[in-house]
Structure 1
Amino acid sequence: MPSSVLKDGRNAQLYAQVRRRMIENGDWDRISSRLARELNESGWIDRFRDLSKETARRADTTGGISVEALMTELGPQAQDEVPSAVRQDVIGVLRKLLERQIEF
């Protein structure tokens, strides 16, 4: 796979340009804050903070766990359990932003 294509098939150069533009004009921070607020309001953050603590405590009895290993172990579950309403809201915001930024 060429280096210009991300693992999921997206164009890496276009992704980098859009991300840079979002960071420069503040959209990245606004969307990140909105996502964090909605995840917090839904209880998602508390659930995964507790799950992370439990997993780390269990690992302490067997020698510990690195942050990277914790992320690898819990990441897929965390992504799968993002409430659909939160996911759809953020996707909608991104879609509107991209429609304004990119001519299709």
Structure 2
Amino acid sequence: MADVDAFYRKIKLRLIESGEWDRMKATIGPKLNESGWLDDIKHKGVDRAHEMDQLSFQTLFEEMSTAGHVGLPLVVRREVQALIREYLEKQFE
């Protein structure tokens, strides 16, 4: 599992350094906004923060990360996967 985590970190670093990460975000961001996903996550985060007796950024972040992954529209998820797959194929030809 450590090898997979190290590989993931290397790929993410390459994406960031090459500017591909920002390009992917620019492609996906509007689609997430149009689908209502961004507003949904924001509202869930605000509601959850108000419910917490003692506000914990770490707990809130973890809960919203999980909610974000679970609630990600399938069409957007597939597009992100396709973009990453395309990038990896170019890198490892």
Using structure 1 for the length normalisation, give the TM-score.
0.77
Structure 2 unpaired stretches of 5+: none
For 2:40 and 2:81, locate their aligned partners in 1 and report how far apart those are by CA, in whole Å.
22
Aligned residues: 93
Structure 1 unpaired stretches of 5+: none
For 1:48 and 1:96, locate their aligned partners in 2 and report how far apart those are by CA, in whole Å.
28
Q: Which moved more, 1:67-76 or 1:36-45?
A: 67-76
Which residue of the partner structure matches residue 59 of structure 2? Answer: 69
1:24-80 Cα offsets, whole Å, 9 max, x none, are 221011012222222111100101101111111122xx2x32111112223222211
The CA deviation at 1:11 is: 4.9
For 1:75 and 1:11, locate their aligned partners in 2 and report how far apart those are by CA, in whole Å.
18
Which residue of the partner structure matches residue 44 of structure 1? Answer: 37
Q: Which has the larger radius of gyration?
A: 1
For 2:65 and 2:23, locate their aligned partners in 1 and report how far apart those are by CA, in whole Å.
23
1:28 to 8, 21, 29: 21
Contact conserved, 2:41 with 2:67, CA < 8 A, in 1?
no
Report the RMSD for the aligned CA atoms in angstroms. Answer: 1.8
The CA deviation at 1:16 is: 3.2
For 1:29 and 1:88, locate their aligned partners in 2 and report how far apart those are by CA, in whole Å.
18
Letter in 2 for 1:35: I
- Identity percentage of aligned residues: 32
